[in-house]
Chain A
């Protein structure tokens, strides 16, 4: 294999915050001495926006990918051109995660149309005969905890045939009464979404009750903006015909990377919603939507 390059950050979880120092080592392993033209390390953070085919034409969606927005970018020269001894060489590094001016260090987020990603890239330039070596390593940024206290915003809900919108034949619906509450729609991202749900009565047997976590991504561009809602995950909280009158817990852990504190900038927005989906045995699908506000404390 010749020479191997590896970038390791110090923290096991690879999680860093604004103002902290990102430290770690670059590890070079080789059997022989390594001749090189310099080793540099680049820290990059960017927001990638992609327009969905739904809002613009396919062609535009393909070409018109908005230019990535750079959040942070800095390079340091680690080693001047020269030789490295054979065996394992560890070169420590430190990067201060400091934003200039009033730029904000957005939290890492992997979505469909919006991606916020931070990477460390190590480049070893070599002579013409040998290929340059590159190694990339993602690290995760958590935004600073929001100031001020999070106000809990509990929501009670009742679902009956009458409360439903979007129904064609209301008469053919089986009768049911589902009550419940969410403890708060203002959620701390590290804490699960909680609440309770009671099937008070239902003529048809319940097949399944699910919590659908949805992201709503909005990208603004010259011609206007695109807003898309896609599913992140679907968690079943009831399976089969549950006991009537017995509260069933609503509990969902927010997945890491795929969720971030609700974000609103001039160019793009990332918001989250949860749907409570009740599936009845005769394939009636009942959905109740709740917008969420996520934040990091």
Chain B
């Protein structure tokens, strides 16, 4: 069977196939043109929120180089411009007013919720001392005294219930560790829920009363804030349960009440239940439980009357005056503020009242009772004072929320009157708006200085001030003085932990407002303080945060590395995991901010060092994800390095990088790509004509790739890189090197496993192999034969490998490849090939259409065709007929496209294939009809008249 390839004139074919070119008209609609919204003047009057969207869209279009050409105004903004500015302004004004009104009745998202403080307090106020829980479940004797003879039945059963609980439930738990204590409280919380769900409301109330009683106990005082957090959680649970229960009683025909219901819509049963709760709570003997439990169900006042909450809050506020212990009282106030903010944030007066009452009782802290207690518990005054902070912070935060400036000023004046008390000052700084504090920084510094040394720790004051200054800017003129004043104090702190906590905060201020000189000084100071006794080991989180702050503000890396103390600072991270984290941060910032490629030796050295640290952290236990992330960071760096025209230097950088990052495969892959790119750059610079020197350089690049590729483990990465590097070598006229690459690729193919892992899942590899082989064959078209090897050495070699490869039993991949090889072989017989590599003579030029060469190709084709036909025969079984039909049609199309059908045998073969495809009814009629139409259309082209005959010989089988 002889096969003749159709001779092709690629140039004229491509002319015919090209789409008609249409001149581009810029003014018209274009799908790629972004929708640009140009801000029109009237929009300026709108609220900030509405303009932000437009400005963002216009700024994004700035990034697009096409947009400058395709500029225009969208219809929406034109419309907006045309609208009457007055009405729009009025409308927005209206909505704003409405929004303001809403805000006053509900706390917005800008209010830091209690839940976020919770964890912080629990983490900060801990103890190693033993705690105790005292629960007297039956201590509500107040009611028990009424055991009369004729009490109503209901009351009697209640009292019996009380007695039941009294026995055996009286327990005292001593010697609990903090963890035990927390578990116990959690148990109580659970038993509260259980009691409630099993309808034991009295028991639930008892649990809550007993829990809140624990809050009057101030033994182990340093744990008190945490205790408060734990127990108020229970109270919150209780409050919610009661509220929801009463709310569910209001359900009318399964319709629950709207959120803002009025008391009139509450039915009598619900009201009665609610009243009962309040009466029951009012009879609780002890002050503290009575206060807490009533505060917990404050929200239930909504069921009884509109003004209930606003009457209750002031009463509860003044009730706290009865609490003698100032710490217990201030936390009670914090709880009331918390409940108040949640239930009725518009009632600001009682918040203020709470704070003023606290100020009135402030002198108690230094009173005898408190002092005696501290002596007994061996707690120092500074520590004791910090226990107040969470509560005061919270109260002030509630007050400061959306408060007018005047009020804040008044608060500050009141604090001042109490002799610049540090505790208050600190809370003012942490609760008030940062802008407010920043504008008065100098005043605050003066006040801090005047503070009593023995009281509240000063470093905490500076820390709080620093936190504010990180958020808001102080007046321009004061800035340096503020830093000097603050740092003067900070640098004198002796305890490294105190020092670093302060320094961490102030670094941000320094970076924000000053140059590298000041930053350098600060860093130097930190190093000086943290190095003795390896103090840095206990301060990694703070040091890490310092680095983060520095790189957020100084992201010009040339500048950053010129800060002399920056690298020495990094040396303090001696624990590897932390050091790698820091390195990652730095690299992330570099990749994010570095716009242009660099060759600055300082940057390169420093970053290479950093990358090396990251790379060296990789070991057998490193997670895949972690490796991927590190590799991506290093790759990002490698891509940003450019020595411009100094290619030698560039290559030696890559060589160095390879030796440094040999454990991360993605980095090696990147390096190979970079070197290939470098070779192509060289070629571009030389305009394709390499001098001796550049030729040698390019060969060096090729050699780099050749020796690097085998060290990779992924087989497809290797195959593709061989192919890619071979192409680069060919383009640079390194023929023997290219041959070597291709040979390596050919000899690697047999090793391709059946299954490969893709993204952690095992997948069959055939699709990848098929794709690679087609790509490979396309390249082989232009690879010239080696003078010492036989004709088409590489193609034959590859075909042999394919022949011997163990293919999946029921797949036609091999035949598909063979069919594709026919495309290649037909292309090889052409006088001029469809594409060439510049300055490389392919086989068309080498053999010049020599008949022996063509005969070789024909022989090869024959072998391939016979292989295909053999395979088609084996597919004759019932279950494989569909595949047979598809393959036959595929082969038919190949012949149609590439074969010379004037050859009779080929013509006959194609007719046979056509019939085979249709024989068993598996052919798609539509495809067949379209193919036939295509043949008919082709027959009208010049020199294609034989297609008319062919078309006549191809019958169409009807579906039936």
Query: Which one of A16-24, A175-183, A233-241 is at the B interface?
Result: A233-241
Interface residue? A248 (CB, 8 A): yes
- How far is it, in angstroms, between the C-alpha of A295 and the C-alpha of B216 when the chains are bound? 36
Cβ-neighbour of B324 out of A231, A235, A239 (below 8 A): A239
- How far is it, in angstroms, between the C-alpha of A12 and the C-alpha of B286 when the chains are bound? 30
- How far is it, in angstroms, between the C-alpha of A112 and the C-alpha of B145 when the chains are bound? 9
For A258, the chain B residues whose CB sits under 8 A away are: 146
Query: Which one of A25-33, A162-170, A249-257, A283-291 is at the B interface?
Result: A249-257
For A206, the chain B residues whose CB sits under 8 A away are: 324
Q: Is the CB of B150 within 8 A of A253?
A: no
Q: Mark A154-173, 1 if CB is under 8 A from B, else 0.
A: 00000000000000000000
Interface residue? A242 (CB, 8 A): yes
- How far is it, in angstroms, between the C-alpha of A138 and the C-alpha of B154 when the chains are bound? 9
- How far is it, in angstroms, between the C-alpha of A253 and the C-alpha of B315 when the chains are bound? 13
Interface residue? A205 (CB, 8 A): yes
Q: Is the CB of A257 within 8 A of B152?
A: yes
Residue of B nearest to A136 (CB): B153
Interface residue? A58 (CB, 8 A): no
For B282, the chain A residues whose CB sits under 8 A away are: 192, 235, 252-253, 255
- How far is it, in angstroms, between the C-alpha of A246 and the C-alpha of B329 when the chains are bound? 13
Q: Mark B270-296, 1 if CB is under 8 A from A, else 0.
A: 011001001100110111101000000
For B855, the chain A residues whose CB sits under 8 A away are: none
Interface residue? B31 (CB, 8 A): no
Q: Is the CB of A241 within 8 A of B360?
A: no
Which residues of chain B from 319 to 342 have any CB-CB distance to chain A below 8 Å in the complex? 319, 321-326, 328
Smallest distance from the beta carbon of A254 to chain B beta carbons, Å? 9
Q: Is the CB of B322 within 8 A of A249?
A: yes
Known: A230-B145, A233-B285. A138 touches B153 (CB 8 A): yes
Q: Is the CB of B324 within 8 A of A242?
A: yes
Residue of A nearest to B143 (CB): A233
Known: A237-B287, A253-B283. A50 touches B149 (CB 8 A): yes
Q: Is the CB of B287 within 8 A of A241?
A: no
Residue of A nearest to B291 (CB): A239
For B315, the chain A residues whose CB sits under 8 A away are: 249, 251
A-B contact pairs, 8 of them (CB 8 A): A115-B149, A236-B285, A237-B287, A238-B321, A240-B325, A249-B319, A251-B319, A256-B279
Interface residue? A111 (CB, 8 A): yes
For B324, the chain A residues whose CB sits under 8 A away are: 206, 238-243
Interface residue? B650 (CB, 8 A): no
Interface residue? B948 (CB, 8 A): no
- How far is it, in angstroms, between the C-alpha of A242 and the C-alpha of B153 when the chains are bound? 41
Smallest distance from the beta carbon of A71 to chain B beta carbons, Å? 14
- How far is it, in angstroms, between the C-alpha of A112 and the C-alpha of B148 when the chains are bound? 5
- How far is it, in angstroms, between the C-alpha of A136 and the C-alpha of B156 when the chains are bound? 14
- How far is it, in angstroms, between the C-alpha of A239 and the C-alpha of B218 when the chains are bound? 13
Residue of A nearest to B216 (CB): A239
Q: Mark A85-122, 1 if CB is under 8 A from B, else 0.
A: 00000000000000000000000001110010100000
Interface residue? A2 (CB, 8 A): no
Residue of A nearest to B267 (CB): A12
For B357, the chain A residues whose CB sits under 8 A away are: 246
For B364, the chain A residues whose CB sits under 8 A away are: 241, 243
Which B residues are closer than 8 A to A by beta carbons? 142-143, 145-146, 148-155, 216, 267-269, 271-272, 275, 278-279, 282-283, 285-288, 290, 315, 318-319, 321-326, 328, 357, 360-361, 363-364, 367-369
- Please report whether the interface of chain B is mostly helix, strand, loop or mixed according to DSSP: helix
Interface residue? A209 (CB, 8 A): yes
Cβ-neighbour of B146 out of A117, A138, A232, A243 (below 8 A): A232
Q: Is the CB of A12 within 8 A of B285?
A: no
Smallest distance from the beta carbon of A281 to chain B beta carbons, Å? 9
Which A residues are closer than 8 A to B by beta carbons? 11-13, 48, 50, 110-112, 115, 117, 136, 138, 192, 205-206, 209, 230-243, 246-249, 251-253, 255-258
Q: Is the CB of B148 within 8 A of A110?
A: yes
Residue of B nearest to A138 (CB): B152
Give the one of B142, B154, B287 with max A CB within 10 A: B287
Q: Is the CB of B155 within 8 A of A13?
A: no
Q: Is the CB of A115 within 8 A of B148?
A: yes
Q: Is the CB of B286 within 8 A of A110?
A: no
- How far is it, in angstroms, between the C-alpha of A251 and the C-alpha of B311 when the chains are bound? 13
Cβ-neighbour of B150 out of A110, A239, A251 (below 8 A): A110
Q: Is the CB of A239 within 8 A of B283?
A: no
Beyond A251-B315, A253-B278, 9 additional contacts (C-beta under 8 Å) are A12-B268, A138-B154, A237-B322, A239-B324, A242-B322, A246-B361, A247-B321, A249-B322, A255-B279
For A11, the chain B residues whose CB sits under 8 A away are: 268
Known: A11-B268, A239-B322. A117 touches B152 (CB 8 A): yes
Q: Is the CB of B145 within 8 A of A111?
A: no
For B319, the chain A residues whose CB sits under 8 A away are: 237, 249, 251
Residue of B nearest to A48 (CB): B150
- How far is it, in angstroms, between the C-alpha of A235 and the C-alpha of B142 when the chains are bound? 9
Residue of B nearest to A209 (CB): B322
Pairs A-B, 4 closest by C-beta atoms: A240-B324, A238-B322, A253-B282, A12-B268
- How far is it, in angstroms, between the C-alpha of A230 and the C-alpha of B286 when the chains are bound? 19
Q: Is the CB of A12 within 8 A of B149?
A: no
Give the one of A138, A237, A243 with max B CB within 10 A: A243
Smallest distance from the beta carbon of A146 to chain B beta carbons, Å? 22
Residue of A nearest to B279 (CB): A256
Smallest distance from the beta carbon of A3 to chain B beta carbons, Å? 20
Residue of A nearest to B151 (CB): A110
- How far is it, in angstroms, between the C-alpha of A12 and the C-alpha of B323 when the chains are bound? 37
Q: Is the CB of B318 within 8 A of A236?
A: no
Q: Is the CB of A110 within 8 A of B287?
A: no
Cβ-neighbour of A231 out of B145, B328, B368, B369 (below 8 A): B145
Known: A205-B369, A235-B285, A253-B282. A110 touches B323 (CB 8 A): no
Residue of A nearest to B145 (CB): A231
Q: Is the CB of B149 within 8 A of A249?
A: no
